[in-house]
Structure 1
């Protein structure tokens, strides 16, 4: 899928309805995370929040996606004052499109979950970079550095 156009998709978002094709002309950062209000996901969201003005200055839009409900997203977003939208992928539409559902070990058990991943879609709608199995610490800065290089 790298260097290919990303198929258009729609998901419920904390500001209404998200439609990928409405972001042509901007750089779009799509980050997938396992679960609202968990320690790693909170830290990751806060790092993107804290660098948000720098992303905005580069005409970049950030969206976070998990399988949580819109109601859960709205609480998570409000509590940590995220300036970007969170998308509810309860049917795993985008998760399937980006192939981020993996079998993971949790407390010794195999569970299906989202592999923390980030994707950059350029202004023409083409996937130009991906990070899979993301480690939270320093990731937002790494994504910002990549956007600066475009």
Structure 2
């Protein structure tokens, strides 16, 4: 069943790109922007990450934390984050367990082959741990502005 606005965000613990474990519930009372993206170093994912980077100070000023999640390895995240100077952590979900919890791991077709892939999506989680907003099947252009506007 898909997650809905107003319900408690599923809790999880994942490692960041530097190996530090992060547990969602331990981030309270901060707001959290949790964005799921398909793959490091691909055009859309790079654009989205860089858009969050460019707006990072504005998000920080609202008290919100930005976290990116994909199924890439820790080493891939380290390189991606360093290459684009991303000021926020990237969480490692290699087995896709958190992606499944949030309903963003779906069948995709690429080059005629069907497989499981991450649907680009963002969840805004409020200070109490409830889902305040959801963006699914995100189009990168202007997405970060939409998320920021929902915060203010």
> Which of these residues, 115, 123, 132, is aligned with residue 128 of structure 1?
132
What pairs up with 1:7-22 in 2 under 5 angstroms?
7-15=10-18, 16-22=20-26
Unaligned runs of 5+ in 1: none
Per the normalisation by structure 1, the TM-score is 0.95
Is the aligned partner of 1:112 residue 2:122? no
1:17-56 matches, within 5 Å, as 17-56=21-60
Structure 2 gap segments, 5+ residues each: none
Query: Are the aligned partners of 2:14 and 2:22 in contact in 1 as well (CA < 8 Å)?
Result: yes
For residue 57 of structure 2, give the secondary structure of its aligned residue in structure 1.
Answer: helix
Q: Distance in 1 between matches of 2:102 and 2:140?
A: 19
**Aligned residue in 1 for 2:95:** 91
Secondary structure of 1:128's counterpart equals strand
Superposition misfits of 4+ residues, deviation over 3 angstroms: none
Give, in angstroms, the shift of residue 91 of structure 1: 1.6
1:142 aligns with 2:146: yes
Count of residue pairs the alignment pairs up: 148
